[in-house]
Structure 1
């Protein structure tokens, strides 16, 4: 009986240690994920709604966020801000944390930036919905959806900041890249300054 009592006490202590270790590892994972979120929100805003040069992550397609993290990690997305900030930011980001971040930001309701030029919005909507036939450019709607909500790893454009969309279109036109195989550099080279202005303005107002 005495031996049985000792064995029970040892078993209880072992179980307690196992529960404590599990709880500690869980808390460590949570702490790590909280730190990862905080690292993103330093630039993308505490509500992940973005700033002028850092795009809104809230409501973005999770597949798109993951594809961009991969492009930063592989140095495919090569515009100046990506090289300066994002290449280093994702260098030690593991695949599970990246997935959790993508799902977390996708779950936050997005708010439109509403910072474009209203006078250009109508023309921008026409380009978005109909393309530019004379320049052989198909509608943005064909890939990004009727409300610019994005599809799978094609990004949500609706409500992104005017300055950000304008800068990205200009960078693609200058030869910078993003995801391998993206048609955007080719599309952007056929857009004039007014078309870029119109598209960026219109999309900033889309909810």
Structure 2
């Protein structure tokens, strides 16, 4: 853990000195977009409490450009370009060790509908439950992300982007799943998940 703290501190110091050129992008401090406590903002997800294997996998997806939504291209492809595998691992472990807090920013009146979709899926539309992969409390496992407590706006945008054909990495089923969701289901799911602890 000492080494992880040292790596994070070094990355912070380097970012304060000024951005360093890295290929076609810029190395940015994670806190610029994800916040000093890694709780995220509307468009930048919470990293605190996320699964370390998922974080490492996503950084690889940014590096190989298989995570291809607009914000990934604009910000993350360049931001991770200079990170070596050891730094990626250390950052993932560090962010996973910070307790996450729920965003609580969805529509409270949609919690019940969103929870039903999350737990049971939509059988008549052949949509499996989110629970099957992401767990009963949206906690995720290994390379499957924690969804509980992420910001409503972020979750809604990601589901919409998957429905439009963007990817979050090689081999993920989410574009297929999201294409089957209508705007009301997306709204309800994103609202419900923003309140999950």
The answer to whether the superposition gives a TM-score over 0.5 is yes
Checking the alignment, whether the CA contact within 8 Å between 2:48 and 2:99 is kept in structure 1 is yes
What TM-score results when the alignment is normalised by the length of structure 1? Answer: 0.84
Instruction: Report the counterpart of residue 195 of structure 2 in structure 1.
Output: 205
Of residues 154, 172, 178 in structure 2, which corresponds to 1:182?
Answer: 172
Q: Does 1:160 align with 2:157?
A: no
Does 2:30 match 1:52? no
RMSD value, Cα: 1.7
**Corresponding residue number in structure 1 for 2:115:** 125
Q: 1:139 to 1:35 in 2, by over 3 A?
A: farther
Contact 2:103–2:150 (CA<8 Å) still a contact in 1? Answer: yes
Deviation at 1:35, TM superposition (A): 4.2
- Kindly report which structure 2 residues correspond to 1:61-76, keeping only aligned pairs within 5 A, or say none: 61-76=51-66
Structure 1 gaps, min length 5 = 1-27
- Distance between the aligned counterparts of 1:187 and 1:145, measured in 2? 16
Q: Does the 8 Å contact 1:115/1:204 carry over to 2?
A: yes
Gaps of 5+ in 2: 1-5, 16-27
1:160–1:29 distance in 2 versus 1, CA, 3 Å: closer
Q: State the distance in 1 between where 2:13 and 2:93 align.
A: 16
TM-score w.r.t. the length of structure 2 is 0.88
Alpha carbons 1:33, 1:97 under 8 Å: kept: no
Task: Identify if the C-alpha distance between structure 1 residues 35 and 69 changes in structure 2 by more than 3 Å, giving closer, same or farther.
Answer: farther
**Which SS does the other structure have where 1:41 is aligned?**
helix
1:140 aligns with 2:140: no
Number of residue pairs matched?
Answer: 181
Is the Cα–Cα contact under 8 Å of residues 7 and 87 in structure 2 kept in the other structure? no
CA distance, structure 1, for counterparts of residue 9 and residue 109 of structure 2: 46
Secondary structure of the 2:29 match is helix
Structure with the greater alpha carbon radius of gyration: 1
Aligned twin of 2:10: 32
Residues 54-105 of structure 1: CA deviation (Å, up to 9, x unaligned): 0000000000000000000000000000000000000111000000000000
